[in-house]
Amino acid sequence: MNWREHKKLLMKEPEFKAEYDALELEYKLARELIRLRLAKGLTQEELASRINTKQAGIARLESGSYLPSLSTVRKVAEALDAELDIVLRPKKAEPKQPQDSENRSGTKRRQRGTETSRSHPRQYLL
């Protein structure tokens, strides 16, 4: 059995899947760091010297088991001549429908905050 088959089997277990999903961002960051470093033809040691750290620090970043500070990620991005984008967006959910309610006089009014004039969620780039 190869890793993909084994992973597929493990993902059927709710506990494993929950833990795996919880670490998604760490592993995504690690994959991107590795991809960019290799694309630049750099070793971990060379990247480490560019950001004034040790090779072991880069290895920890690339393992996905360590969540670095934003300042560290900025340094690595700069050393790799990469642009850093952080996007915060609402979690995917069913769009809310406007709800009507009656006020004290018995007339219907639309509740505040339920307007859905935008067709897509806001994205904030930091």
d(CA 75, CA 10): 36
Amino acid residing at 45: E
Question: Residue 27 domain-assigned?
Answer: yes
| Structure token digits, residue 19 | 């833990």
CATH number of the domain enclosing 53: 1.10.260.40
Question: Residue 71 domain-assigned?
Answer: yes
| pLDDT by position in tens, the chain (length 126) | 888 898 899 999 999 888 888 888 888 999 999 999 999 999 999 999 999 999 999 999 999 878 899 999 999 999 999 999 988 989 887 666 666 555 555 655 554 444 444 444 444 444
Kindly give, in sequence order, each residue whose CB lies less than 8 Å from that of residue 119, ignoring residues fewer than 6 positions away.
none
- Let me know the angle formed at the C-alpha of 53 by 69 and 27, rounded to the nearest 5 degrees: 45
Number of domains in the chain: 1
pLDDT of residue 109: 54
d(CA 126, CA 122): 13
**Domain span holding position 59:** 3-85
> Does the pTM of the predicted model rise above 0.85?
no
d(CA 67, CA 60): 9
Collapsing DSSP to helix, strand or coil, 7 comes out as helix
pLDDT of residue 32: 94
Question: Residue 108 domain-assigned?
Answer: no
Question: Residue 97 domain-assigned?
Answer: no
Question: Residue 61 domain-assigned?
Answer: yes
